[in-house]
Amino acid sequence: MDNGRLMEAMNKRLFFVLVTVMLAVLGAGVACMITPVKYQARAVMMINQYDPATGELTMDYNSLMMYRQLARTYSELATSKPVLEKLAVALDGELTAGELGQMVKVHKVKDLELLEIVVQDTNPARAANIANSLSNILPQHEMQVWKMNNLRPMIPALPDGKPVGPNILLAVIASAAAGLFISVLVVLVVDYRVLRV
């Protein structure tokens, strides 16, 4: 279909396109209004090891490279079912391991031997408590399972009263773009069928 034919089809069905975009934007707005506000808390852990003989940190190049590689493994360990179950117990069963799995994200800080624990919750104080509890449970679990002592809490999480979601502007823009795309696609399909008939 050439551009002239496309513009003609769009002009003919402009009302349909506008209504589709407006409905998509309205739907996004309503969804954002009924979605609970979320807050985020961050705790940082360091991966290192003390030399048993001297009591000092092992900071040579090979050790740092090894810790940076281990960070990925610890990220997976932090969100594993056994750890999340321990976290649920530490929180007095307020949340299940499955619910915590949806709230907790753990990732390696780029090019550093650090882990960042990020928790999103509807309660800022509880988000910080979850992040700090996990940063205390991880070293214990590591020692119990692997008999290693590489993880240490570095920066505790603090409650942050600034919401991180929902992002109304982003949702509205994305839904408007989706509505426009769908409506144009429908116009093209309908116009193609009309031409064939």
**Given this model, what pLDDT does residue 79 score?**
93
Question: pLDDT band for position 126 (50/70/90)?
Answer: very high
Distance CA 119, CA 41 (A): 5
Distance CA 193, CA 197 (A): 6
Question: pLDDT band for position 68 (50/70/90)?
Answer: confident
**Given this model, what pLDDT does residue 90 score?**
95
Question: pLDDT band for position 172 (50/70/90)?
Answer: confident
Q: Are residues 70 and 150 in contact, defined by beta-carbon separation less than 8 angstroms?
A: yes
Please say if the pLDDT value at position 161 is more than 80. Answer: yes
**Given this model, what pLDDT does residue 70 score?**
81
Please say if the pLDDT value at position 141 is more than 70. Answer: yes
Mean pLDDT of 95-123: 92
Please say if the pLDDT value at position 39 is more than 60. Answer: yes
Q: What is the largest CA-CA distance in the chain?
A: 86
Mean pLDDT of 169-191: 86
Mean pLDDT of 77-102: 94
Domain range summary for the chain, segments of one domain joined by +: 3-34+166-196, 39-155
Lowest mean pLDDT among 9-13, 58-62, 99-103, 185-189: 58-62
Which residue has better confidence, 19 or 157?
157
Which residue has better confidence, 189 or 173?
173
Distance CA 121, CA 111 (A): 28
pTM here is 0.73
Which residue has better confidence, 189 or 103?
103
Mean pLDDT of 173-196: 80
Tell which residue, 67, 15, 18, 14, has the closest CA to residue 45. 67
**Given this model, what pLDDT does residue 18 score?**
87
Q: Does domain 39-155 have CATH number 3.30.70?
A: yes
Which residue has better confidence, 79 or 5?
79
The b-or-e profile of 99-138 (16+ CB within 10 A means b, else e) is ebbebbbbebeeeebbbbbbbbbeebebbbbbbbbbbebb
What rounded mean pLDDT belongs to the chain? Answer: 85
